[in-house]
Structure 1
Amino acid sequence: MSETYETLKLEVADLVATVTLDRPPVNAQNRAMKEELIAVFDALHDREDVRAVVLTGAGRAFCAGADLKERPNIAGVPGAYPRHNRLTRASFDCIMECGKPVIAAVNGLAIGAGAVLALCADIILVAEDAYLSMTEVDVGLAGGVKHVRRHFGESDARLMIYTARRVPGPELLRMNVASACLPRDALLAEAQRIGAEIAGKVPLAVQAAKRSFQVTEYMPLHEGYVFEQSQTAALSRTEDTQEAWRAFAEKRKPVFKGR
């Protein structure tokens, strides 16, 4: 099944959704794209026919960042910047908060807000000729620090932010920012393969695992593990977990119902 929006394409097949940024020439984020990202990822959060999501870009760019022509005039309409910033945060949060794991297939340049978009995913794959770059200092801005810091070491995060340097695919793999660096023509298939692998697991367990990553990120070890154990205790009473146990004992493929 395929759905087309103004700035996105959505395809769902075999429990894996593929969301493609599609705003030529370089998939820059305008208001419409942010609103469509929110609408699509909020829907995917609830869809029973989706268990994993792949996020990629059309053409040779993943996302060139924010469309600077749409920056609000700080001396213009009162409240313009708060509204702009709220929408921008929501367009990132919808990916991080989506109940289904999101795999970013970074097929080309990912600059500024485009790099942040990739860094919001659960799993990051990059093409060999792709790169991430935070160019805010080149245009008198300074966003993205917190998202970069989640994935890069402290010195590398500062180097990236202060210099606006490009960090190419092989370097992202070496720095453990990406899980794989692949030829461009193999990237999407690998991301979808990982999505299919995730889709074959107990759906409620995968969702609980993502919830644990979200909730425990800034918790101390003890409190974080207590939360994880609460998730496991709740899962043990679900039909799908009990079906997984029976299938394992009976050496057969489990049939999950999402409850």
Structure 2
Amino acid sequence: MSEPQQTNDANRYDPYATEQVRYEVKDHIATITLDHAPANAFGYAQSRQFVDAFTRADRDDDVRVIILRAEGRIFSGGHDLKESKNPPVIPEGEIPPKELGPKTFPQPTLVSKPVITLVQGWAVGGAFCVVAYSDIVIASPEAKFGVPEVKIGAVGGTGGAAWALPTHVASYLALTGAPIDAERAYQVGFVNEIVPKDKLVEEGERVARLILANPPITVRYIKQSLRDIYPLSRITEPVRINAARNDVALNTEDAREAVAAFVEKRAPVFHGR
């Protein structure tokens, strides 16, 4: 797919110029599909469409379960680093980029309906948080999960890791930037099932039908009860704080060096400043 067009006239920038998130409803199941090759990265346009798709599903009384999936080899590479180097000019009235990020990644837990997320390949950074905040996760054997932002000087998905993983596993991912594979994710309870990649949608729909067989109002109350164990502020507040920490961390000399080294495919040289 082509990138959203940006012109010198800021008012003409349209985050919907290309469809990067598909939305469809069938038999009370809303399927939200990331479709932005090659990495399904969360730039402004995909993030905007992502938030709107979840909002739409949550407001639709015909929708009782949400399935989140992605096209391509991977689920998502997280935040779009290329766009961060050359951000689009956002017209007045649009959600500012600094506000859109914290709205994007907690969406599965912000909606009132169960979210089943299907993961193939990599789900890292902000995409890891999307998975972490989902209700049920089904992965293929090729799936890998991680919060590698430390490697580019960002705080990133630390909050998502802390929410969904045992403390020492979360610390390992956040401090090293190293990923875990589907089997390890299954062992620590991050993933519910591992199925072949070509069976992900079939299995996701099977689980969705199990949920649909139950009283819809009760299902919504159960999701609310599950989330009440950990108040919503336990998610939204760390996301907000991490966004502020990211702003500080990404303005350090080491962070600029880390991004440059990543783009130039070389080892970074850090000086602790």
| TM-score bracket relative to the smaller structure | 0.7 to 0.9
* Alpha-carbon distance, 1:130 to partner: 0.7
**Aligned counterpart, 2:179:** 166
What TM-score do you get using the length of structure 1 for normalisation? 0.76
**Aligned counterpart, 2:127:** 114
* Alpha-carbon distance, 1:216 to partner: 2.7
Alignment partner of 1:40 is 2:72? no
**Aligned counterpart, 2:160:** 147
**Aligned counterpart, 2:32:** 19
- CA–CA distance in structure 1, aligned partners of residues 196 and 53 of structure 2: 28
Higher strand share: 1
What aligned pairs does 1:169-248 form with structure 2 within 5 A after superposition?
A: 169-218=182-231
Alpha-carbon displacement from aligned partner over 1:147-179 (angstroms, at most 9, x marks no partner): 111111111111111111121111110111111
Alignment partner of 1:132 is 2:145? yes
**Aligned counterpart, 1:58:** 71
**Aligned counterpart, 2:261:** none
* Alpha-carbon distance, 1:89 to partner: 1.1
Alpha-carbon displacement from aligned partner over 1:171-204 (angstroms, at most 9, x marks no partner): 1101111111111111121111111211121111
Q: Is the 8 A contact 1:72 1:84 kept in 2?
A: no
* Alpha-carbon distance, 1:73 to partner: 8.4
**What is the aligned counterpart of 1:49 among 53, 56, 62?**
62
Task: Spell out structure 1 runs of 4+ moving beyond 6 A.
Answer: none
Amino acid in the other structure paired with 1:47: D
Distance 1:173 1:112, change over 3 A: same
Amino acid in the other structure paired with 2:119: V
- CA–CA distance in structure 2, aligned partners of residues 193 and 114 of structure 1: 24
Q: Is the 8 A contact 2:75 2:123 kept in 1?
A: yes
* Alpha-carbon distance, 1:35 to partner: 0.8
Amino acid in the other structure paired with 1:110: A
Alpha-carbon displacement from aligned partner over 1:28-79 (angstroms, at most 9, x marks no partner): 01111111111111111121221101101101110111001232789xx9xx
Q: Which moved more, 1:84-93 or 1:157-166?
A: 84-93
Q: Is the 8 A contact 1:27 1:64 kept in 2?
A: yes
**What is the aligned counterpart of 2:108 among 71, 92, 95?**
95
- CA–CA distance in structure 2, aligned partners of residues 140 and 207 of structure 1: 39
In structure 2, list runs of 5 or more residues that go unmatched.
1-17, 233-273
Amino acid in the other structure paired with 1:36: Q
In structure 1, list runs of 5 or more residues that go unmatched.
220-259
Alpha-carbon displacement from aligned partner over 1:84-141 (angstroms, at most 9, x marks no partner): 3321111123321111100110122111111111112111111111110111011111
Q: Is the 8 A contact 1:111 1:132 kept in 2?
A: yes
- CA–CA distance in structure 1, aligned partners of residues 131 and 203 of structure 2: 16
Q: Is the 8 A contact 2:42 2:79 kept in 1?
A: yes
Q: Which moved more, 1:128-137 or 1:8-17?
A: 8-17
Identity %: 27
Q: Is the 8 A contact 2:147 2:158 kept in 1?
A: no
The structure that has the greater radius of gyration is: 1
Amino acid in the other structure paired with 2:98: N
Alignment partner of 1:10 is 2:23? yes
What TM-score do you get using the length of structure 2 for normalisation? 0.72
Distance 1:73 1:67, change over 3 A: closer
- CA–CA distance in structure 1, aligned partners of residues 126 and 38 of structure 2: 16
